[in-house]
Chain A
């Protein structure tokens, strides 16, 4: 395959990945790495390097659209970014130490878990639970606009959320993904932050988290410009298109289909990793 053909195929694939990732809220990185590694035979280290770059692009590109809705919480984001960036440093360092097969195994497991998480029904968090004293001290409690007016929320279990965020950062650095699913899990499930605030704040944090591992990836030679170019441009265009089409509702059936595809890709990554063929 010539470089021109390769770039066009990768660009088109990334466009679809970015579009579906934005529509379903699962992010483009989760299908991008398996697509490059399994279908196009790209070494997984180049694949995660290119994916990480595209993650920064989508997170930053979508931020302006989300900010206009006024639901993300910059204090929660900043406080938890301490955890995710530290985790990302650990993850990116781990990525340079462990074998491709092991990365592939972890990737497969994360894909399968993320897909199952996306089937979980949205929880309606209790409104009047008392806040974690730590949350009050850190001024994390906030409010956001809803149809019936401003709704305030109290943040719970700060240490648990922080620890989960460290884990999400580690996975992001290890696998070159945004790990949005785990970030939302930490905020929505552990810290009882309203779902909408969780998803938009998570999107905000993804870019900063990815930037923390990008330096390590770059210095280690994981970021190839020839591969990253079509990946970044494709995913960016696809995700901007996706957010334009649907800013709010994530169509249920599409999420279902997409999560089944992700389980399939996860199983394949797991199999290739265990049999040592990656």
Chain B
């Protein structure tokens, strides 16, 4: 039993590790794409970050970011890449729930679900107002 458990643990970890790396590389690719468009269009404007204004609402919420990205705005595409990046560890937690379920480890199915609920609670603020 203990042996079987550590073997599936190991398999789960490897899968998760690869999932994380793929997620990061994919989001980095989207960010590079958006960054190129942004720099070509706005590279010669002046950089201004000394005063905090907060991002406009089209770069704060998932629905609006999607629309902005599909209109091929550089900043919108970068923000979409960052959304994928934020989703990567969330996917990791969701994936571990299945892993623990496969091991019939009910306690850790519950623990991982609690973590997922906390993450969802945080993300709801940026998903809800489309």
- Residues of A at the B interface (CB closer than 8 Å) are 1-7, 40-43, 45-46, 53, 56-57, 59-61, 63-68, 70, 72, 74-75, 78-79, 81-82, 85-86, 88-89, 92, 100, 138-139, 207-208, 210-216, 218-230, 232-233, 236
Contacts and interface: CB of A to CB of B under 8 A. Distances in A.
B75 A63 contact: no
B107 to A, nearest CB: 7
Given A4-B44, A222-B54, A63 B21 contact: yes
A81 B111 CA distance: 9
A60 B85 CA distance: 9
Most chain A beta-carbon contacts within 10 A, residue among B16, B49, B75:
B49
Nearest to B40: A4
A82 B108 CA distance: 11
Contact of A226 (B13, B14, B38, B54): B38
How many of chain B's residues touch chain A, expressed as a range?
35 or more
* Chain A at the B interface: SS class: helix
A92 B111 contact: no
B34 A229 contact: yes
Contacts of A92: 122
A5 B114 CA distance: 44
11 contacts: A3-B44, A7-B43, A60-B89, A65-B17, A67-B16, A74-B12, A74-B13, A78-B96, A208-B119, A223-B59, A223-B79
Interface of B: 9-10, 12-14, 16-18, 20-21, 23-25, 27-28, 31-32, 34-35, 38-39, 42-47, 49-56, 59-61, 74-76, 78-79, 82-83, 85-86, 88-90, 92-93, 96, 105, 107-108, 111-112, 114-115, 118-119, 121-127
